[in-house]
Amino acid sequence: MRTRAWAGCLGVLALVTAAGSAGAGQWRDGAELYQKVCGHCHEANVGPVLKGRSLPPEYIQRVVRMGNRAMPAFRPTEIDDATLADVARRISTGAVLARE
Ligand code: HEC
């Protein structure tokens, strides 16, 4: 189970890298980013649950840019600043999967 989750994550990373080479601005919004990237780990017990914890958006953005142990760092070419700010806001307020 754990091995399979990790294999899935590697696939996600490959996907993000490929998308990154296409340049910034590839995400519709933070909800799409969360579903396609963050959720693969953070909704699958690979990473800690993020929703409903009122984590400060500044903290979330810093972790995504810097990485932290098993949490990969993402460059601006992979996740542009606007989408990162949007996903951080959504995670912080718990509205990450809400449709707008
Ligand atoms: C490859 C799996 C993976 C992906 C993809 C991933 N994360 Fe993580 N994330 C982790 C793991 C594992 C940790 C725990 C790191 C540690 O503390 O050792 C973590 C930690 C975090 C933390 C810190 C949580 C805390 O309790 O302090 C935040 C915030 C975070 N991730 C946000 C994100 C966001 C936003 C995305 C999408 C852009 C994302 N992560 C994508 C695996 C992932």
pTM for this entry: 0.82
Q: Where are the domains of the chain?
A: 2-93
pLDDT, tens digit (0-9, with 9 covering 90-100), for 37-85: 999 999 999 999 998 899 999 999 999 999 999 999 999 999 999 999 9
The rounded Å distance from CA 71 to ligand 1 centre is: 5
pLDDT, tens digit (0-9, with 9 covering 90-100), for 7-25: 555 555 555 555 544 455 6
Residue whose Cα lies nearest atom 41 of ligand 1: it is: 38
**In 37-55, which positions are buried (b, 16+ CB within 10 angstroms) versus exposed (e)?**
bbbbbbbeeebeebbeeee
Residue whose Cα lies nearest atom 9 of ligand 1: it is: 71
Q: Which position among 19, 24, 44, 71 bears the catalytic label?
A: 71
Regarding the domain with residue range 2-93, which homologous superfamily does it belong to in the CATH classification? Answer: Cytochrome c-like domain (1.10.760.10)
The rounded Å distance from CA 46 to ligand 1 centre is: 9
Q: Which atom in ligand 1 lies closest to the alpha carbon of residue 16?
A: 5
